[in-house]
Structure 1
Amino acid sequence: MAFYDIICKELASYIVVTDAEEEVCELYSVYYSSGSKARVDRVDPSQSEVEIEIHGGRRSFTLTILQNPHINGELGQTGGVLWNSSVVLSEYFARRSISDWDLSTLNIVELGSGCGLVGIALHRLGARRVVVTDQRRMMKVLTKNVERGKSKGIIFATEYDWDKGSEDQSVLREPVDLVVVSDCVYHEEVVPMLVGAMKEVCQSRADGKVVGIIGQELRSDLVHQAFVDKLLESFVVYRIPVDPSVDSFYTLYAVWLI
């Protein structure tokens, strides 16, 4: 069964999103009432190397991830360090892989991988093939983390410019089952490019059965609204409830092409 078909069977437990403004009003009313002090930081962006524990019940594990805090000093660059949402999304995949989601047949592409935590976690959870991607300046750190995190299965890092696509034909050589995006939207300017890249990956499969799983930290209501609004132009969008401790500060979406 395709991963798309598995997701479709779960839709009764998801929340359909049809209006970006309504979605943001609902999310951020909870966020502002929760208070930012209740959020627990899981990462330390000041360190060049961090150990991250992925709590997934029987699928728990620890990854050592290299960071480059200096890259984040460059204009528009945020991928040099880990962000909390990547831990949240990795743990969600870990919990779901115990019994609900069989990752062993999936070909996965991650856009804007940064340090690569989510993609490496999916690899460690048994995904058949994982391609982690980012801009050229991120390749050194990303490639090193992939080499350190390798287990059974296929994983590799390659350059993917959202505005230009990938020159590496191997990225979309095989039909993609799942495209993953973790906290890639910090500015409205990147929204059209990211959504365009997501469309490109999803259109690579003839039957259209490509699911996108997006993890996003609640940070800026205006940027979040712009992102959801742009997604709704091309994608069916469902919000995935996790639990109150997560939903107050982060949101997960499942999307696929209209």
Structure 2
Amino acid sequence: MALVPYDPEGIGIQKFHKPLATYTFVNHQIQIKQDWKELGVAAVVWDAAVVLCTYLEMGAFNLQGCSAIELGAGTGLVGIVAALLGAHVTITDRKIALEFLKSNVQANLPLDIQPKAVVKELTWGQNLGNFSSEKFDLILGADIIYLEETFVDLLQTLEYLCTDHSIILLSCRIRYERDQNFLKMLGKHFTVLKVHYDPEKDVYIYKAHRRSHKDEL
């Protein structure tokens, strides 16, 4: 999660002060509560989340029945859309954001789908043992790779959660050299490919998976 907005002096920040952000995905109207005043960047919808939701809805991956986890979920939009697309999703964030996150998830998922979405505390690099019995097909992250002091913990978390068959999807805006540095760090442990770019929002999606012996040849 960011500590500062992208453009603190620009008009773009105005959308973060709206109490509701409304989207349509998977034939559902999704109304996300925002609370910039109390929770800051953890409680607003960033463009990277919207682009990742659009990418998932495009059908690049069959989410029906797959096991997914969202890291640094914030408002929960990505996890909500993944659940609507048929995934069993563990939607995670730090403890301070959990109640807010739960309220959005519960408000936007039909009762029959709610059991497929579990909200769970996860601080990167900590309490990973709470996830030791879970195997995830898909690991999702929207705008989570730009805070440099979290890079080592985030990488450790990705390595811990990944199996040989897991796919990581990271949606981000590349703003600084440190963002590229994280992708280089990731590339030392995973095969990383750019799979999508939204020129209007200037957001990239990167796909990563564990490097196999075949990849290294």
Output the TM-score relative to the length of structure 1.
0.70
Structure 1: 4+ residue segments shifted above 6 A: none
Q: Distance in 2 between matches of 1:245 and 1:80?
A: 23
**Residue 86 (str. 1) matches residue 59 (str. 2):** no
Q: Identity of counterpart residues, as a percentage?
A: 24
Q: 1:157 aligns with which of 116, 119, 137?
A: 119
CA contact (8 A) 1:120 1:149 kept: yes
Per-residue deviation, residues 142-199 of structure 1 (Å, max 9, x unmatched)? 01111112232610101001021346x3x45342100001101232111111111111
What are the ranges of 5 or more consecutive residues in structure 2 without an aligned counterpart? 1-6, 212-217
Give the counterpart letter for 1:92 in structure 2: Y
1:165–1:197 contact (8 Å) kept in structure 2: no
Relative contact order (C-alpha < 8 Å, sep 6+): which is higher?
Answer: 1
The residue number in structure 2 matching 1:11 is none
Q: CA deviation at 1:50?
A: 2.0
Find 2:29's aligned residue among 57, 62, 67.
62
Partner of residue 101 from structure 2, selected from 125, 136, 142: 142
Normalization by structure 2: what TM-score? 0.82
C-alpha displacement of 1:52: 2.0
Alignment partner of 1:196 is 2:156: yes
CA distance in 2, matches of 1:133, 1:241: 24
- Listed as ranges, the matches of 1:1-258 within 5 Å are 44-54=15-25, 59-73=26-40, 78-96=41-59, 101-127=61-87, 129-151=88-110, 152=113, 154-166=116-128, 169=130, 171-202=131-162, 205=163, 208-218=164-174, 220-242=175-197, 244-245=199-200, 249-258=202-211
Indicate the RMSD between aligned Cα atoms, in angstroms.
2.4
- SS of equivalent to 1:70: helix
CA apart distance, 1:132? 0.3
- Alpha-carbon distance between aligned partners in 1 of 2:71 and 2:61, rounded to the nearest angstrom: 21
Find the residue that maps to 2:36 and give its secondary structure.
coil
Number of residue pairs aligned between Structure 1 and Structure 2: 199
The Cα offsets for residues 71-122 of structure 1, whole Å up to 9 and x where unpaired, read as 455xxxx3221101101110110111xxx53211200011110110000011
SS of aligned partner of 1:215: strand
**1:43-91 alpha-carbon deviations (Å, 9 max, x no partner):** 921122221234xxxx443211112212455xxxx32211011011101
CA distance in structure 2 between the aligned counterparts of 1:194 and 1:104, rounded to whole angstroms = 27
